[in-house]
Chain A
């Protein structure tokens, strides 16, 4: 083979390799930090590329020589490309950087790779070869012409905000949350921090520079005393105002405002400082409203809990001791509303049970044992003979939300006993209407949750008689439910196979009609919820800084007329 051809192949290879291995290239640049690169391209690539430009047989030696040369050149180009990345002040290597590096070497850049984020390489193997290739589909021109134009990307714009005012970073949406979630987690799970003696006072109280204090704590690890850091939750005037507005909107009468407020709780990054107040608000609110049987308010408070849990910047572990009792109360309380026969307090129990399950999943650790403690509590009151149907319902709901394993071990064995109890109510004579409704609900709840579990663990032939012997009174009904569940599962499986779509059942959201609402807090006129707006700067001179204000007085939201609230608490 003449040298000319070799050189020509080489050129094609360099271009081709860049073409095909662009994706590995950027990875290479990263990887090389750890792994030392004596990486070079396989000779098969050279062969494949030679074939693609019409050179049939390439000798093994030429391949080896080519692959080394090409690898070296590619590394060179990658190094230059990194230079462009650094000067472009980016962390990501883009195809433009490669283009620029090629231009630097007087090589014509590769046209057509303009994708900024993702390079759509496909992988294929076959015939003992593995290939990465760039799939170029044939495009029908008329399609392109007929499709509407994409929206013009937004133009560059400039926006100013205060990063710091006299050394203190204001908590506005433009700034990151003052305490990132990881830090909150560390604080709550490892509360003891090594602090040098005499350091702790100025270390935490000094509100001047949050960053500096955090750094202080880290820097001063020479001291050997472990102290629990004292965290202060000072609220600025804006934050106090915000807290007031939010809490009023959450329990107020206007549903639209409530939705806005909940949305704000679920998304706002600066709520960390207010978290203790929110949690006290919820726990006090539940305590009072359970006594007053105010279903609507309880629902609102549970929705607040949900919103807090949804907020990605908050870590609630520290405040579970207040939140969990409140939630559990809403699950198992004997009476949650004024007219238990009419009002749908069952939905609240379901909702709260789901919240409970969610917090178990998120926060349960081997040290706090939340899940096992909760399970114990539920089972204990469920086993009690004298337990009311409402509480019984709550216990079962709470347990069954914890997952199929819990259902299998705790609920299924008791189905016979529970069935007998339900039978006693349904077929018995002198029972109150309330008991009857309760038993009905318990029955449908058990059927709903147990059927899917049984469908999974029980072998196929579903015989009503068999079920009756196994599960007693509920047996036949269970049997039909299980059969229904099986057909549904089969249907779903088919669909899954065909479309790879996961079908999620939308969870019912809780809303209460305002008719049954009799607010105890008196008429409220909540004004518009407004997040403290960012201080936008027009003139480049320091504005009046907002002084950190003393902690706000606690808002007592509900009139605490009833004193016997504590007896209702479960935990």
Chain B
């Protein structure tokens, strides 16, 4: 969903997003061609061809529904804006003619799509088309419609028989196909169970569930638990997990051969029940080539809605870094000063040159400098950059032979109340978010925290003096700790701005707050999530920040706008963690639906979906060169991803509990992970990335084959004393800082 410019429309918009998570962010128009092309050679069955193509028109349908709703409520201004944004023509609101005209004006919609679209519209029994008309009237438009898809009549007694029949068939096929076909079990099981429940066959449903739940993969345990608690038709209404099963098709990747086998079997047996479910609720992504092995499948599965479609990861991502801004002039000044101080002019010159030359080379993978508008550098930022470069020259080269020292900051007497920690980039400040709604900021250098003087006192200052920045500070307020009050619920996310002037905190109360670290007061409360906000993160260039919460969307904000610039919607469950790409053009979000998505800040579209985690994701980290992403989850594994190719490239096993923090060293050689199991572990990132064999085949099919080399990559395990590690941070000189609260 694109940016919303303002006005009273917002609430409505957001509601829509919340209730219709079906349209992934990737459903932008440009992907239509690929989708249709991939599906059409798929199979003889007409339905299989039509289904995937229908996903794109659904976008249009939704838009039209929204437009109609707005019009009905006399919100003409919003109608205009939305129409402009979506590129819809004026007359598109006439519902009868809407679809055809929308299809025609949609630019890249092919003729074939349009015809299939029309056929869908005329078939008035189709549930999806009914949705828009109902949307205007009801409060929860989708639910009934969505559920009614389950109202198939079949003999409940036969369900176990069907399932067993399929099971026997799959057990009897060749080994190479068995693993692939077994993927069908879980979604089939879920949908059959839901059908039974929906049709009020309660005891049959229970029996079915008990009989076959043991067959399901262990990593679906969490979902099965939710499912098992659901035993009545009434429960289905308002159960979000369940809606996800219905609204988003479960994606399976199956080789053509295996798929043909399955199809032939089902058609031979006249097994319409199962065939219907596969057609209705499953999206089978067929590929040519060797069937995948069990380990390959297991590596990628586990998310709430199956694997990512291959097309979802095809978009080009500019993962390169932005050119460093030219700050030659002030650097020279600084150098002269440094010369005066240290008298070592020669040593610095070549280093500065090397930095300069590196930045002059344009990385082919880097986005354009002006792809998204970035804030201008202020003088203080330039000074900080110079400090950074100076520190960088003193940086320790890390490697397997040269492990970093770790300094652990323990929060004492926190009574299990510490929920979030962040360090500033220069490691001078630590902020902690607490369950008692406070945010506390500590200075860990001898420099104490001071407030700016009051307005009356500021008037007395000589504004022309050189040390005016020093004079505005009030010495009387100097202290090591400042407490920020303002939230009304536990603070779950916290992030410093790169220039150390601001601090962001996100809380259970549904707001994100921006605090000034000059006055230690709250400047803005960003409202919009309405539900707990689990995480927030400042862009590495400042100004922008991203937040994600229980409402399943991530929002992009700018500090000077009180409304979000972008809303990234597509996750099927809470957005649990958010992180900016080093070049600020992308945002990665991890979610309870066990997927990671990468979003383009420019147009709000989803450019990568990574599946493979078996639990909610709680930690994300980009490698400093922007090429790789590391993610940690409650399944106590760290997974490594290649952003450019959209592939999983590594799995780091070793932790025994949820991972809450991940961080690459400044040069990217070492990955540090911190977990609830009270350990900090160091991994050899260089080796993990170098070992990578990205032959063309792997890149093309996305079938990874991971070697189990966690033990070789693990460089060290450091146990703390019953102190879960909540945050990790590498100082500019590559000293590792860790933080957590001591729970005796």
Q: Which residues of A contact B (CB under 8 A)?
A: 32-33, 36-38, 68-69, 71-72, 75-76, 79, 83-84, 86-92, 94, 96, 100, 104, 116, 153-167, 169, 174-176, 208-209, 211-212, 214-216, 219, 537-543, 545
Contact = CB atoms under 8 A, between A and B. Distances in A.
8 contacts: A38-B210, A68-B232, A86-B658, A153-B413, A156-B418, A160-B409, A164-B403, A538-B446
A163 B406 contact: yes
A107 to B, nearest CB: 13
Given A90-B416, A153-B415, A160 B407 contact: yes
Nearest to A154: B413
B406 A162 contact: yes
A361 B410 CA distance: 38
A155 B719 CA distance: 25
B444 A162 contact: no
Contact of B419 (A87, A92, A539, A543): A87
Contacts of B532: 84, 87, 100, 104
B495 interface: no
Q: Top 8 A-B pairs ranked by shortest CB distance?
A: A211-B717, A167-B403, A163-B406, A219-B711, A163-B408, A164-B406, A75-B229, A154-B413
A72 B410 contact: no
B717 A215 contact: yes
A525 B446 CA distance: 40
Contacts of A154: 412-413
Interface residues of B, number: 81
Contacts of A100: 489-490, 508, 532
Contact of B435 (A68, A96, A167): A96
B405 A545 contact: yes
Interface stretch (B2-10, B165-173, B296-304, B729-737): B729-737
A71 B445 CA distance: 53
A79 B714 CA distance: 34
Contacts of A174: 408, 410, 721
A542 B405 contact: yes
Contact of B718 (A116, A159, A169): A169
A513 to B, nearest CB: 40
A166 B407 contact: no
A116 B719 CA distance: 26
Contact of B731 (A32, A160, A209, A540): A540
A72 B719 contact: no
Contacts of A155: 413
B419 A162 contact: no
Interface in B613-653: 616, 618, 634
Given A156-B411, A215-B717, A166 B490 contact: no
A96 B435 CA distance: 9
Contacts of B658: 86
B720 interface: yes
A430 B721 CA distance: 66
B142 interface: no
B557 interface: no
Contacts of B121: none
A162 B716 CA distance: 15
A72 B230 contact: yes
A211 B720 CA distance: 12
Contacts of A161: 407-408, 410
Given A89-B676, A104-B531, A164-B716, A37 B721 contact: no
B716 to A, nearest CB: 4
Contacts of B512: none
A212 B713 CA distance: 10
Contact of A165 (B405, B432, B435, B731): B405
B408 A162 contact: yes
B232 A162 contact: no
Contacts of A169: 718-719
A96 B508 CA distance: 12
B412 A156 contact: yes
Interface in B397-430: 402-419, 427, 430
B553 interface: no
Given A71-B229, A89-B419, A156-B413, 15 more contacts: A72-B232, A84-B532, A96-B490, A156-B440, A158-B430, A160-B444, A161-B408, A163-B738, A164-B405, A164-B406, A166-B404, A215-B654, A215-B711, A540-B407, A542-B396
B228 interface: yes
Interface in B689-726: 711, 714-721, 724, 726
B550 interface: yes
Contacts of B654: 215
Contacts of B531: 104
A539 to B, nearest CB: 7
B456 to A, nearest CB: 32
Contacts of B419: 87-89
B387 interface: no
A174 to B, nearest CB: 7
A175 B721 contact: yes
B680 A163 contact: yes
B631 to A, nearest CB: 15
B716 A209 contact: yes
B660 A89 contact: yes
A543 B735 CA distance: 10
Contact of A89 (B408, B726, B735): B726
B434 interface: yes
Nearest to A219: B711
Contacts of A37: 225, 228-229
Interface string B675-688: 01001111000000
B568 interface: no
B442 interface: yes
Contacts of A33: 221
B213 A158 contact: no
B576 interface: yes
B226 interface: yes
Given A211-B718, A542-B735, A163 B412 contact: no
Contacts of A167: 402-405, 682, 715-716
Contact of B618 (A86, A92, A164, A541): A86
Contacts of B599: none
Interface string B483-520: 00000011010000000000000001000000000000
A493 B225 CA distance: 52
Residue among B396, B408, B412, B714 with the highest chain A CB neighbour number at 10 A? B408
A27 to B, nearest CB: 15
A176 B677 CA distance: 13
Contacts of B492: 87-88
Nearest to B737: A540
Nearest to A78: B229
Contact of A162 (B231, B403, B405): B405
Contacts of B634: 86
Nearest to A161: B408
A540 B658 CA distance: 27
Given A37-B225, A89-B724, A541-B735, A158 B409 contact: yes
A175 B719 contact: yes
B259 interface: no
B534 interface: yes
B235 interface: yes
Contact of A541 (B230, B720, B731): B731
A540 B409 CA distance: 11
Contacts of A545: 405
B405 A166 contact: yes
B411 A158 contact: yes
A64 to B, nearest CB: 12
A465 B473 CA distance: 97
B145 to A, nearest CB: 23
Nearest to B742: A159
Contacts of B711: 215-216, 219
Nearest to A165: B405
B385 interface: no
Contact of B735 (A38, A87, A540): A540
Contacts of A540: 407, 427, 444-445, 731, 735, 737
